Amino acid sequence: MLILKIAACVIFGFGSGAVISGAVFAFIAVIGVIPRIADKTGTSKHIHIYEEAVVFGGILGALEGFFEFSIPLPKVAGMLISFCIGVFYGCFAVSLAEVINVIPILTRRLRIEKGLFFFILAIALGKLMGSLLYYVIPGFFTQD
């Protein structure tokens, strides 16, 4: 009976993971963040590398969460990887905001006619400062 319970947990866990990962990758595909990044950087002919990086990153992330392993890297390499992850999430958030027309709606409601560049720059710099404070100064946002 215990073997049946374990088998059921494995089947349901694998099935739910497959559904969720499929939904996430479909969401990324619908937004078009990968083609948009490739187009903006002028590397459209290498789009397959972007797509494979996202797929392998998702697989490695799932495996790391399941098996709890770590890859020993120098601190500089870890910082570079963290920077790349931040750039991807930033591009992803901007693409999502662009798809749902957040910026045009926000500019109409706030009646911003000039200086939209500075508004977006202020948002990006605020995100940058928050990230730097969080990662460079340990415990900056904690209540100890």
Query: For the chain, what are the domain ranges?
Result: 2-100
Q: What pLDDT sits at residue 81?
A: 80
Compute φ and ψ for 82, nearest 5 degrees.
-60, -40
Rounded CA-CA distance 10/122 in Å is: 47
Q: What pLDDT sits at residue 137?
A: 75
Q: What pLDDT sits at residue 100?
A: 65
Kindly report, residue by residue over 24-42, the tens digit of the pLDDT. Answer: 777 777 777 778 778 878 8
Max CA distance (Å), the chain: 69
- Which residues of the chain register pLDDT less than 50? none
Contact 50, 38 (CB under 8 A): yes
Contact 33, 95 (CB under 8 A): yes
Q: What pLDDT sits at residue 116?
A: 75
Q: What pLDDT sits at residue 83?
A: 82
Q: What pLDDT sits at residue 107?
A: 75
State pTM to two decimals: 0.49
DSSP state of 112: -
Q: What pLDDT sits at residue 35?
A: 81
Q: Where are the beta strands (DSSP E) in the chain?
A: none
Comparing C-alpha atoms, which of 88, 96, 108, 102 is closest to residue 37? 88
Q: What pLDDT sits at residue 143?
A: 64
Contact 87, 124 (CB under 8 A): no
Whether the CA torsion 23, 51, 34, 131 is positive or negative: it is: positive
